[in-house]
Amino acid sequence: MRVSATAERGMEMENVVFDMGGVLIKWTPDEVLDNAEVKGEEDRRILKREVFFSQEWAMMDWGVLDEEEAERIFSSRLPFRLHKYLHSILYWDERIGFVEGMDQVLSYLSSQGKGIYLLSNASHRLNEYFPSFPFAHYFKDTVVSADYNRVKPEAELFRLALAKFGIDAKETLFVDDAPQNVVGGRMIGMEGYLFRRDPENLLSYITGSSSGQGPRL
């Protein structure tokens, strides 16, 4: 009997490395603003531009700026009426939701003895809040971009993560919701899956029960 290429990949895959925001948790600027109860469209537009898409936000992921320092900078340039939202935005983990169906994916991988790891572009604070997430116990290890002063999709961060985890890229599936990060993972030898809030499809892809190659870029 001929085994499909997808099934072969499922049998060979020993590890899965997950992104966090948009994969495990419901994290987009709009979702964070919803959780912070920012209603006005103009206020939301300003906060996206001045906070989420700012150099300072990137600097937190790089590990060269913390939330307290970032809040002072944001406060200095935002209208006073928006200051009240900054804590909820910067400490978004206090109100975050989780992607439905991912617990079943993680549970299945764990039951099969697969290595489960996290690689996230995030500030140092991830090391504080991630252990409190309900799925954290599935993860053998984590790599946070801020701890290495590098961010996905830089090849060096992927290599550092694989070395820390002690795993082989050729035996590893990388799951992320950003196309450029999936490409980055593939470039260093991992199988890549572009996640679209589709845990059922992801599980089918992992088990080899889907006929395709996963979401295309």
Is residue 215 a part of any domain in this protein?
Answer: no
pLDDT at position 210? 59
Question: What confidence tens digit (pLDDT) does each residue in 131-162 have?
Answer: 999 999 999 999 999 999 999 999 999 999 99
The pLDDT, as a whole number, for residue 11 is: 45
Same domain, residue pair 114 and 144? yes
Above pLDDT 90, what percent of the chain? 89
Higher pLDDT: 171 or 12? It is 171
Determine, yes or no, domain membership for 45: yes
Note whether 28 and 129 are within 8 A (CB): no
Burial code (b: 16+ CB inside 10 Å, e: under 16) for 97-127 equals eebeebeebbeebbeeebbbbbbbbbbbbbe
Residues of the domain holding 170: 5-26+98-207
Residue 6: its pLDDT value, please? 43
Picking from 68, 94, 120, the residue at the C-terminal end of a domain is 94
pLDDT band per the 50, 70, 90 thresholds, residue 208 = confident
Same domain, 129 and 192: yes
Residues 131 and 154 in one domain: yes
Q: In this predicted structure, what is the pLDDT of residue 7?
A: 40
* Beta-bridge partners for 15: 115, 172
In this prediction, residue 32 carries a pLDDT of: 98
User: What would the DSSP string read from start to end of the chain?
Assistant: -PPPHHHHHHHH--EEEE-SBTTTB---HHHHHHHTT---HHHHHHHIIIIITSHHHHHHHHTSS-HHHHHHHHHHHS-GGGGGGHHHHHTGGGT--B-TTHHHHHHHHHHTT-EEEEEE---TTHHHHGGGSTTGGG-SEEEEGGGTT--TT-HHHHHHHHHHHT--GGGEEEEES-HHHHHHHHHTT-EEEE--S-HHHHHHHHHT--SS-S---
pTM here is 0.91
State the average pLDDT for the chain.
Answer: 92
What's the average model confidence in pLDDT over 185-199? 97
Q: Are 155 and 184 in contact (CB under 8 A)?
A: yes
Same domain, 104 and 45: no
pLDDT of residue 216: 35
Q: Are 189 and 171 in a shared domain?
A: yes
* 43-79 pLDDT tens trace: 999 999 999 999 999 999 999 999 999 999 999 999 9
Determine the Cα–Cα distance for residues 29 and 217; give it in Å rounded to an integer: 22
Same-domain check for residues 52 and 72 = yes
Looking at the structure of the chain, the number of domains it has is 2
pLDDT tens sequence across 105-133 = 999 999 999 999 999 999 999 999 999 99
Q: Note the pLDDT of residue 140.
A: 98
> Looking at the domain assignment, is residue 200 inside a domain?
yes
Asked if 57 and 135 sit in the same domain, the reply is no
User: Could you tell me if 114 and 83 lie in one domain?
Assistant: no
